[in-house]
């Protein structure tokens, strides 16, 4: 019996993605549904882009509340809030080598594709990626900038990765900097 009581009271981690037309109160509404089901908000990253508000968050919730929480989150679609739910995977146990990447150049099609292709080819994972297009200071031409936190696979030499990125940097006309995080 004790094992059943323990499993009923166990917590489960969920990763939620949410998107809705931007308006005040979206995060409060989502937080309210999580709290109503005894959920604990752990991590999140949210932003407004192009009139939409999107977020990804990790929560923990009592296993016994998961089904009711899933139903309540699905019901938010009636309010124009779309939520996708996934079970969180166990955290990575091996220490990972982290580096930061900064990129700047004239904006054009294919920059993200070429850089991410080079990273994937080296087995590098992207932990976080932020991009933006802005007006250049001299001629006002559109400039592209990206900042990323990367996780290197075991055995990948930072100089080797730097060399790979420098090869494509001249082809796509951007400056790329890598640094230990």
pLDDT digits (tens, 9 = 90+) for 63-80: 999 999 999 999 999 999
Query: DSSP secondary structure string, 95-162?
Result: --EEEEEEEEEE--TTHHHHHHHHHHHTTPEEEEEEEEEEE-TTT--EEEEEEEEEEEPTT--HHHHH
From edge to edge, which strands make up the β-sheet containing 11-21?
40-49, 52-62, 11-21, 82-87
Q: Kindly state the tokens that stand for 11.
A: 């917590």
Report DSSP state, residue 89.
Answer: P
**Higher pLDDT among residues 7 and 18, named by residue:** 18
Looking at the chain, the whole-number percentage of residues with pLDDT higher than 70 is: 92
The region of weakest confidence among 16-25, 76-85, 89-98, 135-144 is 89-98
Average pLDDT, the chain: 92
Question: What pLDDT sits at residue 137?
Answer: 83
Find the helix or strand (DSSP H, E) in which 80 lies: none
**pTM beyond 0.95, yes or no:** no
CA nearest neighbour of 155 among 92, 97, 94, 93: 97
Go through the domains of the chain in sequence order and give each one's CATH number: 11-87 (3.30.70.260), 97-180 (3.30.70.260)
Report whether 56 contacts 44 (CB < 8 A): yes
Residues 104-146 have pLDDT tens digits of: 999 999 999 999 999 999 999 999 999 999 998 877 899 999 9
Distance set, CA 124 to CA 78, 119, 167, 177 (Å): 39, 5, 17, 15
| 8-state DSSP, 9 | H
- Please state, as a whole number, how many other Cβ atoms lie within 10 Å of the Cβ of residue 87: 9
Instruction: Please report which helix (H) or strand (E) contains residue 39, including its range.
Output: none
């Amino acid at each position: 019996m004790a094992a059943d009581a323990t499993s009923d009271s166990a917590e489960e981690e969920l990763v939620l993605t949410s998107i809705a037309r931007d308006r005040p109160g979206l995060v409060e509404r989502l937080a309210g549904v999580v709290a109503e089901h005894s959920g604990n908000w752990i991590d999140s990253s949210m932003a407004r882009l192009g009139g939409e508000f999107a977020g990804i968050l990790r929560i923990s919730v009592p296993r016994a509340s998961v089904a009711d929480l899933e139903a309540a989150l699905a019901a938010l679609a009636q309010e124009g809030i779309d939520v996708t739910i996934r079970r969180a995977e166990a955290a990575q146990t091996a220490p990972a080598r982290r580096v930061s990447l900064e990129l700047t150049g004239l904006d054009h099609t294919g920059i993200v594709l070429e850089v991410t292709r080079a990273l994937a080819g080296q087995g590098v994972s992207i932990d976080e990626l932020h991009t933006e297009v802005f007006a250049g200071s001299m001629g006002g031409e559109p400039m592209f900038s990206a900042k990323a936190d990367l996780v290197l696979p075991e055995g990948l030499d930072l100089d080797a990765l730097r060399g790979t990125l420098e090869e494509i940097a001249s082809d796509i006309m951007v400056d790329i900097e890598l640094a230990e995080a």
